[in-house]
Each structure stands twice: as structure tokens, then as C-alpha cells.
Amino acid sequence: MTAAARFVTFEGGEGAGKTTQIRHLGERLAAAGIEHVATREPGGSPGAEAIRRLLVAGDTGRWEPLTEALMMIAARHDHWLRTIKPALDDGKWVLCDRFHDSTVAYQGHGRGVPFDTLESLRRTILGDRRPDLTLILDLPVEDGLGRAQARMKGIVSGEDRFERMDIGFHQRLRAGFLAIAEAEPERCVVIDARSDAAGVSAAIVAAVSSRLGVKL
């Protein structure tokens, strides 16, 4: 990986606006002449996208928690080897919609998979590699679910399995992401996602500029 490469992940609960903000940051990077790749999890490579279809659709209880976690890890392994690592090795920035923190929040905090199990799996596929910066878009659970439902209105995608889980699950997700940010403040920045897209984008640009030493 060259010195210019940066790995930036976007995390948060349902409806936090990660996809929109990745697009906005990508536009700012392009304007600054910084080459980047935007990707997502689960997915981001052909094999991982095939696994994604099994994870994000269907009945909420179709997978046991550990089975679900293992599928997420399998998708991440393929994604890392085929998309993320090659881009970083080429000196490109990578903007990723979800990464291992989502597994800790969703399958760990949300569904009870032991954290030491998840950490062991992370080390198996990633070693010591972590994102250079993680932006956690935070907002009240009810607001996020409302946004997600409004976004999906009239769209038949079937990718709403996690959104349909009970409110307690989503409350645990939010608490999980905030716990991750508190435990790793040198890597994570919590972004208040309650404001409009322009306000959130400005906060993200400020965080990226100060943390990663770039002028955007």
C-alpha cells in the first residue's frame, strides 16, 4: 500500500445516510485529484455480492447468529482480497459502506455472537489491518428506521431483512456503534446524522481533512 492510500469506512444504523455521504465525499476527493474506489458490505466483489443476497433478504430469523456472522466474514474475505486490498496497493483511497465494525455491532451487540469470536475471525482475514478512519453516522433509532422506510417506499428490492428486526435489536446496534467509537477514539469519529445531507457532509469533510491531513 502506498503512502497516499487511505481506507475510510462509514458505519451506522439503518437510514443513517451512508450511501449519500460516500457519494458526496467521493465528489470532494475527485475535485481534489484524489483517486478513489467506493464499495460496500456485504458485497463489493462478485463473490461477496452473491453472499449478500443470502444475508439481506428473507425472513429475519433465517440464519442463526453465528452462521450469519460467518457468512459476513466470508463475504469480507473475498471483498478484501479482490477489491479493497488491490485498490489500496494501487495508492487509491477506498470508501467503504460498512466493514468489520458492522459485524461487531450487528452480529455481536445485536445478535449476541461473542466478541472474542468475532475478533479472532477479523484477525484471521485482516491481520492487524484496520481502517485509517471510521465515520459513525449516528441518529435516534426511530428517525433512522423512518428514513429507511421512506427510502424503500415503492421500491421492491427485498433487501430489508435487518430493517425488519425488532426495535430492541436496533437500539442495541446504536449502542454498539457508540461503544466502538468510545473504545477507539483515535480511529472513529461520531457524526451527528440528524441534520440535512449538506450539514452532515460538511462535518464529514472536516473530520477527513483534520484526521487524514488532506485539504478538501
Cβ(163)–Cβ(148) below 8 Å: yes
pLDDT of residue 158: 77
Asked whether residue 55 is assigned to any structural domain, the reply reads yes
Return mean pLDDT, the chain.
94
Question: Residue 154 — pLDDT band, cuts 50, 70, 90?
Answer: low
Question: What 3-state class would DSSP assign to 16?
Answer: coil
Is there a domain that residue 87 lies in? yes
Per the domain annotation, does 198 fall within a domain? yes
Q: Which structural domain range is residue 208 located in?
A: 7-212
Whether residue 115 contacts residue 104, with contact meaning beta carbons closer than 8 Å, is answered with yes
CATH code (residue 69)? 3.40.50.300
Could you tell me if residue 169 is inside a domain?
Answer: yes
Contact at 8 Å (CB) between 54 and 70?
Answer: no
Does 88 map to a domain?
Answer: yes
Number of domains in the chain: 1
**65-79 vs 46-55: helix axis angle to the nearest 10?**
160
Band (146; pLDDT cuts 50, 70, 90): confident
Q: Is the pLDDT of residue 60 over 70?
A: yes
Query: Hunting for cell 477489491 — which residue is that?
Result: 83
| pLDDT exceeds cutoff 60 at 90 | yes
CA neighbours closer than 13 Å in the CB half-sphere of residue 146: 6
Query: How far apart are the C-alpha atoms of 54 and 34, rounded to whole Å?
Result: 34
Tell me how far apart the alpha carbons of residues 46 and 51 are, in angstroms, rounded to a whole number: 9
DSSP 8-state assignment for residue 63: S
In a domain, 16, yes or no: yes
Predicted confidence at residue 145, as pLDDT, reads: 87
Question: In this predicted model, what pLDDT tens digit does every residue of 25-50 receive, in sequence order?
Answer: 999 999 999 999 999 999 999 999 99
